[in-house]
Amino acid sequence: MTTNASSTQDRLRGVFSPVLTPFNRDLSPSTQHFIKHCSWLIRQGVGLSVFGTNSEANSLSIGEKRGLLDALLAAGIPTDRLMPGTGCCALSDTIELTRHAVTSGCAGVLMLPPFYYKGVSDDGLFRSFSSVIDAVADPRLRIYLYHIPPVAQVSISMKLIERLLKAYPSTIAGIKDSSGDWSNTEAMLREFQPAGFDVFAGSEAFLLATLRAGGAGCITATGNVNPGPIVALYQHWQDADADQRQLALNKTRGVFQKLPMIAAMKAAIAWQADDSAWSVLRPPLVELDTAQYQQLQIDLQACGFTMPEASELAVAD
Amino acid sequence: MTTNASSTQDRLRGVFSPVLTPFNRDLSPSTQHFIKHCSWLIRQGVGLSVFGTNSEANSLSIGEKRGLLDALLAAGIPTDRLMPGTGCCALSDTIELTRHAVTSGCAGVLMLPPFYYKGVSDDGLFRSFSSVIDAVADPRLRIYLYHIPPVAQVSISMKLIERLLKAYPSTIAGIKDSSGDWSNTEAMLREFQPAGFDVFAGSEAFLLATLRAGGAGCITATGNVNPGPIVALYQHWQDADADQRQLALNKTRGVFQKLPMIAAMKAAIAWQADDSAWSVLRPPLVELDTAQYQQLQIDLQACGFTMPEASELAVAD
């Protein structure tokens, strides 16, 4: 078995969130809201997978992503908690964004496979990742593969991981498994985690199971809105009440999951922060309608949901 | 029924091809090969849907696409035969590329819906297209919608077309239907073609049927390699031998279609032009293996396939 050459010290662990991207009314990214939200998440103990699926990252241009990342760094967000998504359809875009993240000092990058062409071969995907690694050519690069077949429709197979780990043991650092298929996460934990390939569950629904199987944590959308209890389970997973904590997390997650999730999370923040700017989504996604918004409030209140210090997420007009 | 306000004169008709994008060995686009190929296609009577699916367009950055388009214009390629693909995942990218195409004088643009997020609503897609149209804000803009559910996994429904036509009758000019489902093409021809919404079949396999039903032509990958006979059917579709011509086209298409098609078309050009640079694809796509390449040559020879003046597609080292 190939052993990952990264030192333990380098390795990211814990709870990360694909950070929601706030927009202005004119649909441009709201840098001010973004910095406030990232700062708040860091204070809650959540790492920043900016530019993930739930960040509407694929609705942003490379220039917009570079600009947002630069704004975070200028605001003093710690690079050792940054794992930006950098995988795009176009090889040249992935290289540009990955290089920018690495030279900016980000601890890792979360990399989607190129996702426009369907039914592509593992040979083609291997070439995609290896072309990026060879072009960036920076020993600091740590890639977390991003497996999300329900959305990307292009998968990262066990065979591909094995091949990448063999070719680039110090660069291929781990995976976010958003397949929603626990048997897949389990197989990765069994086959690759012992070699230092860090497996993150794609949602907190699998956080306890992942930690019990030796995994690194989770990268979860609802970290944007429910960070405290998720981080608490990560910290207390060996305590007697861990299963109860997991059940409570699942209940809150269920409220968001039964609605269009990105819109629901933004609506929850708009409500808690009392800042309606938070409810804007970039097309093709749309905000909740009034009935959905009211149902969300009722269901969240029934869970005892609150966001601590939510007023800090608001931006004065 | 809403009537499309474009004058007949503006309207594109005939055979277009999603132009293959040639690459150098270092995977950068080969501008020289690209200009030669586009010039050759124009001489064969084929219009240029540069940056389509078969162009590996979603493996190119916006900067690379702008650069290639500028190079075509500088080389004197006629803008009235240019229909570049400009639909990207990111709204901001689609706006930038569409604006560039329109201000460059391109006769039309072929627009994919944003394709990363799946299961999006018609409301969201309507907002995507309308945000682009409102941002570009140029009366010269003519949008051909690009419906290719097998790859994009996001569809353009009849209801969405109706809504877009009603809101933007002089901008929404037509569609490329690459669903592969003739009943869908037929429904569009029946419902929207009479109002001046030009329906292009997504492959020459449906060219004769489309023309018989009043459609505008086809936008087809194999136009890259078999342009003469496809254009001849477009010109002679009312002749007695039209069905025979269609059958011959289908036979040649079948040879390419049973292989990974982009790789097969590039291999055919590399062979006919005697220029191996043509065989390079950008990851995640890969070139044919030796057995596939040999089979392609045998099958094409059995069809009597040749590319006229193919040596003009070669670039000296």
The answer to whether B34 and B67 are in contact (CB under 8 A) is no
What residues of chain B lie within 8 A of the CB of A127, using their CB? 283-284, 286
CA-to-CA dists, residue A177 to A90, A125, A168, A200, angstroms: 22, 17, 20, 6
| Separation of alpha carbons B264 and B256, rounded Å | 6
Residue A41, both tokens: 């998440």
* pLDDT at site B9: 55
* pLDDT at site A7: 47
Tell whether B202 is covered by a domain.
yes
Residue B24 touches chain A, beta carbons under 8 Å: no
A286 closest CB neighbour out of B61, B127, B285? B127
Residue A96 touches chain B, beta carbons under 8 Å: yes
Tell whether A283 is covered by a domain.
no
Tell whether A264 is covered by a domain.
no
Could you tell me the residue range of the domain that residue B107 belongs to? Answer: 10-240
What residues of chain B lie within 8 A of the CB of A151, using their CB? 116-118
Residue A282 touches chain B, beta carbons under 8 Å: yes
Instruction: Answer whether A113 sits within 8 Å of B284, measured CB to CB.
Output: yes
Question: Over pLDDT 70: what percentage of chain B?
Answer: 97
Radius of gyration of chain A (CA): 19
| pLDDT at B201 > cutoff 50 | yes
Residue B127 touches chain A, beta carbons under 8 Å: yes
What residues of chain A lie within 8 A of the CB of B64, using their CB? 90, 92
Instruction: Answer whether A114 sits within 8 Å of B59, measured CB to CB.
Output: yes
Residue B304 touches chain A, beta carbons under 8 Å: no
| Separation of alpha carbons B127 and A286, rounded Å | 9
Name which of A131, A137, A136 is nearest A114 in CA terms.
Answer: A131
Tell whether A248 is covered by a domain.
no
Number of domains within chain B = 1
B91 closest CB neighbour out of A115, A282, A286? A282
Tell whether A137 is covered by a domain.
yes
Tell whether A313 is covered by a domain.
no
* pLDDT at site B3: 45
For B69-97, how does the pLDDT look when each residue is reduced to its tens digit (9 = 90+)?
999 999 999 999 999 999 999 999 999 99
Q: In what order do the strands lie in the sheet with A109-111?
A: A47-48, A14-17, A217-219, A198-201, A172-177, A143-147, A109-111
* pLDDT at site B317: 75
Residue B26 touches chain A, beta carbons under 8 Å: no
* pLDDT at site B316: 87
* pLDDT at site B152: 96
Half-sphere exposure of residue A112: CA atoms within 13 angstroms, side-chain side: 30
- pLDDT-flagged residues of chain A (< 50): 1-7
Angle between helices A290-302 and A242-257 (to 10 degrees): 170
Tell whether B101 is covered by a domain.
yes
Tell whether B229 is covered by a domain.
yes
* pLDDT at site A4: 46
Q: In the 8-state DSSP scheme, what is residue B82?
A: B
* pLDDT at site B1: 38
Q: Do strands A47-48 and B217-219 pair parallel, antiparallel, or not at all (unpaired)?
A: unpaired
| pLDDT at B5 > cutoff 60 | no
Domain at A92, CATH number = 3.20.20.70
| Separation of alpha carbons B103 and B85, rounded Å | 15
Q: What is the mean pLDDT of chain B?
A: 96
| Separation of alpha carbons A299 and A287, rounded Å | 18
What residues of chain A lie within 8 A of the CB of B53, using their CB? 116
Residue A156 touches chain B, beta carbons under 8 Å: no
Q: Calculate mean pLDDT across residues B286-300.
A: 98
User: What residue type is B10 in one-letter code?
Assistant: D
φ, ψ of residue A205 to 5 degrees: the values are -60, -25
Residue B284 touches chain A, beta carbons under 8 Å: yes
Question: Over pLDDT 90: what percentage of chain A?
Answer: 96
| pLDDT at B235 > cutoff 50 | yes
Residue the block writes with tokens 């570009």: B136
| Separation of alpha carbons B41 and B266, rounded Å | 14
| pLDDT at B19 > cutoff 70 | yes
Chain A closest CA to B136's CA: distance in Å?
14
**Residue A238 class from Cβ within 10 Å (0-12 exposed, 13-18 middle, 19+ buried)?**
exposed
* pLDDT at site A9: 55
| Separation of alpha carbons A49 and A217, rounded Å | 13
Half-sphere exposure of residue A162: CA atoms within 13 angstroms, side-chain side: 9
Cis peptide before A284 (omega within 30 of 0): yes
What residues of chain B lie within 8 A of the CB of A27, using their CB? 91, 131
| pLDDT at B2 > cutoff 80 | no
Name which of B278, B50, B261, B38 is nearest B151 in CA terms.
Answer: B261
